[in-house]
Amino acid sequence: MDFFGTFLRRPAAASILSLLGVLVFYVVFGGVDVGRLAGAASWVNFAANLGIVALPLGLLMISGEIDISFGAMIPAGSMATAILSGYYGLPIVVGMAGALGIGIIVGLVNGYLAIRTTVPSLIITLGTLVAMQGIVLAGSVLLTGNAGVAVTAPGWAKFAFGQLIGGSHQVIIVWWLVLTVVFAFVMHRSRYGNWIYAMGGDKLSARNAGIPTDRVTVLLFVLSATSAAFVGMCQAILFNSAQVSGGMGYIFNAIVSVVVGGVLLTGGFGSVPGIFFGTLTFAIVSQGIYFTQIDRNWSNLIIGVMLLVAVAMNESLRGLALRYSPRKKARA
């Protein structure tokens, strides 16, 4: 019983319960074959691309900020790679550097505006989202005359960033798992994680305590934009082409994944394992429905209900954790 109580007080509890609940729902009401679902590549590939974006977004939200400009950074990273290495024929390394460089620049702009103005980060990143959409479209047409560009990557780049493992699983799954471990270590085993939690609780108090809040904020925005550009770069290498459209759906999907993962919109609460399981849950909900007998038109309703239930569980479990902490300290 104590083990179950300890589990419920962890930020990842809501996401794990949501995942189990979705699986049970699909098995009971959708007649899904769990073995067939587990072996499918569609939802895992979807989760990996989404998860790399959701990880830094989750850390930003824990710190009390938010970024939605990554919706434009995915096509920006894809187009930068294709234009530099496909249209102009430069080495693929140059295209990759261009994609990641754009992510760094946009992240610096977002971070600088967030720390130097009183404008909420939602509004700031909404502005950069729209601006980057215009830059990507206008820049592509101006430089190439088209909204789509082909690119062919060399073997080593395909192997590292665009390979299909076993004929169906994208190599970006490996990147997602590695980044999850790295983010988990930084967030839960280093001082930077403590700083991020403190900033989400009270940024002014964190600053007064000597935490470099401005530097951490800028770094988190850079990670968010660069991660999205990295996903776009991998997609261009995998599919041998890039389009100026796409990426907008990631905004809703990533935010839902992070919230289902136990991160509060108000900041100060959440975990990397929770974000990981939240992404898995969302991927299974959105892609797993194709393995059930449920009408596909019900998928958005299921996602909406899942989000509302996850928010309610997050609040309840956070309250449980806060009530438990004083007693735990008193017994120590």
Domains and CATH numbers, the chain: 2-322 (1.10.3470)
By the 10 Å C-beta count (0-12 exposed, 13-18 middle, 19+ buried), 240 is classed as: middle
The pTM of the full predicted model, rounded to 2 decimals, is: 0.91
Q: Residues with Cβ < 8 Å from 197, sequence gap 6 or more? A: 62, 268
Give me the percent of the chain exceeding a pLDDT of 70.
92
Token pair, residue 279, equals 């992404």
Neighbours of 51 (CB within 10 A): 30
Where helices occur in 240-265 by DSSP H, the ranges are 248-260
Tell me which range, 225-239, 259-273, 275-289, is most confidently predicted by mean pLDDT. Answer: 225-239
**pLDDT confidence of residue 209:** 93
d(C-alpha 173, C-alpha 280), whole Å: 12
| Per-residue pLDDT tens digits for 45-85 | 999 999 999 999 999 999 999 999 999 999 999 999 999 99
CA distance 325 to 332: 11
- Burial degree of 119 (CB within 10 A; 0-12, 13-18, 19+): exposed
- Give the closest residue to 263 by CA, choosing from 326, 189, 200: 200
